[in-house]
Amino acid sequence: MTLWTEICDLVTRKQVARLADRLVTLTEEERAELGGRLPGLVKELRRARTEQVRARHPEDFEELASWEVGDLLDELAGGLLLAGVGVITGPAAAVTWMTSRDVNRRWARDPNVGLVCRVAAARPLEWRREVAVRLAQRIRRPADRIAPLAVALLRESGAVPPDHDPLVAAWLAAPSVPGDPLTPVLLPRVFTADGAGRALREERLEPRPTRWLAAAARDLPREQVLDGCVSRFLRGGEPQDLRFFVRLHTLLDPTPAESAPRVRDYLRLLPSAPGTVAELAAGQVRAAMPLDHADLVEAVDALTFREEAKFAATGLRWLDQAIRATPESAADFVTALTTAYAHKSFDVRNRAAELTLKHAALFDGHAEAILDGAGHLPADLGAKLAGRFGGAVPAGELLERKEFPPLPEVPEARPFPEPSIFPGYHEHWVGHERWLAAFVAGIAEDRAGLSGKLRRHVEEHQGHWRSRDVLLHPADWQSALSAELVTPGSVPEPPPIEPEKFWDGASHSVQVRELTRGEEPAPEEPLRFTMGRFGFHRPGRYLDDDAPLRAFFITWTSDDGPEAAVAREGDRQIPFSGGRIHLNGSPADGAERIYDDWLPGHPHPVRSKPGVLYDDSGEAMPSHVLDDVYEHLAELGVDPARVAAMRAGEPVPPPGPDEPLVQVTVVFIPSRLRSYLPEPLPEHEEWRRRNRLPRPGGVAPLHDFLLHRYVELAAALRDGTLPPVLLATPTWMSGHLDPDVLVDRLETCAAAEVEPPPADLAQALLRLPRGRHPAAADRAAKVDSEAARSAARWLAGDGLADPGCGLVWRHMAGGSMVDFGDAEPEHFTEVRLQPELRVTAPTGHRLIDEVLLRQPDGWRSDESGGTLGAWPAMLPSHREVVAVNLLPFLLYGTGARG
């Protein structure tokens, strides 16, 4: 085999690891020889595949050939790229090859950067540096397939990165490496490179500065970073492109002394910069006060010009302060006042009119300008200015004083109904609370009696809850609790995780191809096979030349038939003759014991049946696999009589002189290799699985907390540790719980020497009215239980501190959700309302801090719909937390029943 044939064979068989091994051993003379022939390889591949398609579909082969050639080049792109790096001598020609449409394929797998760098390392240093620079200059956007490779080659070769903006964004998006040699050169360029800000838009300050924010603040001179941020603001751009620089500027938190030299730049940002930038600039201007008078007038004019009410209000506040400090300068602020008259915010217009009247004596010389601007004010405000400055009352109907009726009295909360094991179905959350209270109290008072009442219900309502891995609705949990009470042990934990099967219907694949006589593969050549375009795989293992699965391969040619087939397991070759498998070319010592030698511990006999392969567990390859083979042989022109002999397992007659030579390759994946045992779940997730809870974050926080109450009651029922009474049952229909009733229940539990379950205690505390309850706290402190002591601390304090609640509108951009800036984006495909919940002071109760007060997700879980109605009564003193959790449902019109 010649060197050229060897390289071509490795490329076409997609053996990229072996190809890399061979390329690094080439001499410069060999590279020169191969480099000139490499472009011809692609032409030959195109021609050969096109001819194959023409032979199968002579009528309309052009379009089909185009698709198949494209698929072939997609599969071979990695090997072709590697070959070009290894053999092309000119750097410019190498980069042209690497970025050509035949090698840099859109749908191909991403280049194997490690292998390419390994092959490139065998080339001269100057060659590597020039290739790295030229390749970097070809980057057009960070997502280019060549971008990670260009960054890696620059790092490996030590080349000076070119001044190319897309390279900076690509470098920012590439995985980081310790001691990156590109950082000193490229990090300062983020302030000037187009696209860098967008690549960095997801950087965050909280809970700690993320990678690039920390790096810029740590590795670059402080003055350079401040100048870079300000210059980037002055260039303008979309809010998301400037977000990183705003956060970096905030992280540095410049002192007034540092802000003073840049005040003129900050002033230039006030009129039209995006809101976040303008807010930052206004803060820096304020920190640099007192300003030169002309600068202050410019700042006030700029702020009152903006359409955002908060900026205009800031400008008017500065105006008022300036006039009070220097009354003689009032005339300089007339323009800002009259601009504010036309603001879209009523509060701004009203404040501007108030300030005009407040300092009216100072504006007497500018009555004409004020009256001209007053036309933009509402009629009543315009009339006030006209009355003071002597002008005509503006046309327009004055608003009459409107009298509003008094607010209705808040109705007194109704008492919560008594517990009931059979509440009405129309009661929703009230019925669920009544059932829980009756169930727990009923077991304490008369377990047998309650079991008798529920027996008929359990027998008639088996439902589907038993087959569900996760129970999401209170009704399912009530059924499970009832069944466990009636028949203890009838609600077992879900079984352990079993091995999972994958691609069970794709246990085999067949390749039947015509060969040119005289070019048959040598018997010792390794067999490789790919099932489908992307290869057959299971998690962590791929059927390719780098990590072969232990699959069985059979190959033979139509001249010899299956009698001369060769079977392989991995790299072990097993001649497959007469229906029996032999090792190393000679019969094994006793066919029935062949697997004793091959795979110890699996002594299964090999059946004497032509064309059938059994694996070490005795599983036979399906017979229909070879049926497909024989059909393909007949289609390609093999003598039907010879095909029939192969099918029957009889001696195969020799081929005719005009009969084609066809090679058959079959891959068979036994069932033991088509399943895997998933990785063990983390302990907290396994606990959730065993208790039929959804995965963390699978439902809304309030729904998750509600399910925890049922889970702990189910565990207490199995363990015989149920309390005599539930703590959390409300005393009023608002959901509130009387503090003295809570202490009564704590005393009952303490007398029974039973600690209430944690979720029940947490829910009871959350239902207490706001404020301190010293009398109840003193009573609770005298109860000898851990739950009572915890309740005493809560009652004596202020309870749950008000969390910070809010929302952010987000939209899809570049494959990820980003916050809206000051302006609506030109194009967006999805809008989401993202709730924000910030805990200001942890309570010390794990289920409250980690489950109930978890930051809600921005997506809506349909499974939470049945419990929405229960949420307000879970937090009757903190309805704002409920509102934040309901926000994801706001856009979808989900009802609040449940």
Task: Choose among 220, 181, 174, 178: nearest CA to 199.
Answer: 174
Phi-psi region of 163 (alpha: psi -120 to 50; beta: other; left: phi over 0): beta
Distance between CA atoms of residues 434 and 420, nearest Å = 5
* 80 within 8 A of 22, measured Cβ to Cβ: no
Residue indicated by tokens 């569900």 = 468
pLDDT reported for residue 606? 33
* 547 within 8 A of 540, measured Cβ to Cβ: no
Question: Nearest 5°: phi and psi at 877?
Answer: -95, -5
Burial label, 855 (beta-carbon count in 10 A; 0-12, 13-18, 19+): middle
Please spell the DSSP secondary structure of 161-193, one letter per residue. Answer: PPS-HHHHHHHHHSPP-TT-TTHHHHGGGGGTS
Q: Which residues contact 753 (CB under 8 A, 6 or more apart)?
A: none
Q: And the tokens for 425?
A: 């179905």
Please spell the DSSP secondary structure of 358-410, one letter per residue. Answer: HTGGGGGGGHHHHHHHHTTS-HHHHHHHHHHHT-PPPSSPPPPPPPPPPPPPP
Per-residue pLDDT tens for 402-412? 788 888 887 88
Q: Tell me the CA distances in angstroms from 161 to 111, 245, 584, 858, one per residue in order.
A: 21, 23, 55, 41
Determine how β-strand 661-668 pairs with β-strand 552-557.
Answer: antiparallel
Mean pLDDT of 598-620: 39
> Residues of the chain with pLDDT > 90: what percent?
38
Handedness of CA 96, 97, 99, 100 (dihedral sign): positive
Q: And the tokens for 782?
A: 């005298």
DSSP-based helix, strand, coil % in the chain, nearest 5? 50, 10, 40
Q: And the tokens for 795?
A: 């009652």
Distance between CA atoms of residues 138 and 135, nearest Å = 5
Evaluate if residue 4 carries a pLDDT over 50. yes
Alpha carbons within 13 angstroms on the beta-carbon side of residue 2 total 6
Task: Choose among 307, 394, 400: nearest CA to 349.
Answer: 307
Q: And the tokens for 314?
A: 């800031």
Task: Choose among 338, 351, 269: nearest CA to 310.
Answer: 351
Burial label, 46 (beta-carbon count in 10 A; 0-12, 13-18, 19+): middle
pLDDT reported for residue 13? 85
Residue indicated by tokens 């990590």 = 547
Mean pLDDT of 564-582: 40
What is the distance, to the nearest Å, from the Cα of residue 792 to the centroid of all Cα atoms in its chain?
43
Residue indicated by tokens 């003689």 = 328
Give the predicted TM-score (pTM) of the model: 0.52
Distance between CA atoms of residues 448 and 446, nearest Å = 6
Identify the band that residue 870 occupies on the pLDDT scale cut at 50, 70 and 90: very high
Distance between CA atoms of residues 898 and 887, nearest Å = 17
> Residues of the chain with pLDDT > 70: what percent?
82
Number of neighbours of residue 391 by Cβ within 10 angstroms: 18
Number of neighbours of residue 589 by Cβ within 10 angstroms: 10
Distance between CA atoms of residues 843 and 318, nearest Å = 42
Question: Nearest 5°: phi and psi at 568?
Answer: -135, 145
Strand partners of residue 554: 567, 666
Q: Which residues contact 252 (CB under 8 A, 6 or more apart)?
A: 217, 222, 225, 226, 229
Identify the band that residue 542 occupies on the pLDDT scale cut at 50, 70 and 90: very low
Q: Give the 3-state secondary structure of residue 420.
A: coil
Question: Nearest 5°: phi and psi at 752?
Answer: -85, 0
Residue indicated by tokens 């032999």 = 582
Q: And the tokens for 783?
A: 């109860």
* Amino acid at site 583: L
Phi-psi region of 313 (alpha: psi -120 to 50; beta: other; left: phi over 0): alpha
Burial label, 246 (beta-carbon count in 10 A; 0-12, 13-18, 19+): buried
pLDDT reported for residue 601? 34
Question: Nearest 5°: phi and psi at 566?
Answer: -115, 125
The verdict on whether omega for the bond into residue 207 sits within 30 degrees of 0, i.e. cis, is: yes
DSSP letter (8 states) at residue 847? I
Strands, E assignment, 772-830: 804-813, 816-819
Segment holding 510, helix H or strand E:
strand 508-515
Q: And the tokens for 797?
A: 């304090």
Evaluate if residue 475 carries a pLDDT over 50. yes
Q: And the tokens for 206?
A: 């909280």
Per-residue pLDDT tens for 329-375? 888 998 999 899 888 888 888 899 889 888 888 888 888 888 888 87
Distance between CA atoms of residues 772 and 29, nearest Å = 89
* 98 within 8 A of 85, measured Cβ to Cβ: yes
Q: And the tokens for 786?
A: 């851990």
Structure-model confidence comparison of residues 223 and 696, the more confident one: 223
Distance between CA atoms of residues 555 and 663, nearest Å = 7
pLDDT reported for residue 604? 34
DSSP letter (8 states) at residue 586? B
pLDDT reported for residue 816? 66
Phi-psi region of 852 (alpha: psi -120 to 50; beta: other; left: phi over 0): alpha
Evaluate if residue 60 carries a pLDDT over 50. yes
Task: Choose among 827, 834, 838, 897: nearest CA to 864.
Answer: 897
Q: Give the 3-state secondary structure of residue 558.
A: coil
Determine how β-strand 565-569 pairs with β-strand 675-676.
Answer: unpaired
Question: Nearest 5°: phi and psi at 89?
Answer: -85, -35
Evaluate if residue 217 carries a pLDDT over 80. yes
Cα angle, residue 368 at apex, residues 365 and 372 outer, rounded to 5°: 145
Q: Which residue pairs, CB below 8 angstroms and at least 24 apart, start in 223-231?
A: 224/188, 225/252, 226/252, 226/254, 226/258, 226/262, 227/262, 228/188, 228/190, 228/191, 228/192, 229/191, 230/262, 230/265, 230/266, 231/191, 231/192
Cα angle, residue 126 at apex, residues 124 and 131 outer, rounded to 5°: 95
Number of neighbours of residue 608 by Cβ within 10 angstroms: 11
Per-residue pLDDT tens for 818-858? 766 544 555 566 777 888 898 888 888 999 999 999 988 87
Identify the band that residue 593 occupies on the pLDDT scale cut at 50, 70 and 90: very low
Evaluate if residue 521 carries a pLDDT over 60. no
Q: And the tokens for 471?
A: 């129970």
Per-residue pLDDT tens for 261-280? 999 999 999 998 988 899 99
Evaluate if residue 815 carries a pLDDT over 70. no
Please spell the DSSP secondary structure of 675-692, one letter per residue. Answer: EEPPPPPPHHHHHHHHTT
Mean pLDDT of 612-621: 50
pLDDT reported for residue 250? 92
Per-residue pLDDT tens for 717-771? 999 999 999 999 999 999 999 999 999 999 999 999 999 999 999 999 999 999 9
pLDDT reported for residue 580? 30
Distance between CA atoms of residues 646 and 133, nearest Å = 59
Per-residue pLDDT tens for 407-465? 888 788 899 999 999 998 788 899 999 999 999 999 999 999 999 999 988 888 777 78
pLDDT reported for residue 587? 31
pLDDT reported for residue 650? 80
